[in-house]
Amino acid sequence: MPKYIKQIPDAGPAAENGWRYEADDRYESGGWSLAIRVRDEYSPNIMGFGDTFVFHPNGKYPNTAYGGGFMPFGKWGYYVE
């Protein structure tokens, strides 16, 4: 049975503007996604996008998205600009 967390955890110092949650109907995300845009100090922003750390519940990640190329990170994806 699912449990709910009492408080949303801090996204950490590398996150720009905290967590980003999106509900959508895109096949590649599985209906929703949870993401953190990585601050420029931790990931140089060359093309204007920056790196993104993202979770898709279906575990499917396109090779390119969020302005960068995909790198697996456990059940999460890391998109490097």
Q: How far apart are the first and last CA of the chain?
A: 38
Say if pTM beats, i.e. exceeds, 0.85. no
Query: Which pLDDT does position 12 carry in this prediction?
Result: 82
Q: What is the mean pLDDT of residues 32-51?
A: 75
CA distances from 37 to 3, 5, 24, 48, 78 (A): 26, 22, 18, 12, 10
Q: What is the mean pLDDT of the chain?
A: 81
Q: What is the mean pLDDT of residues 4-20?
A: 79
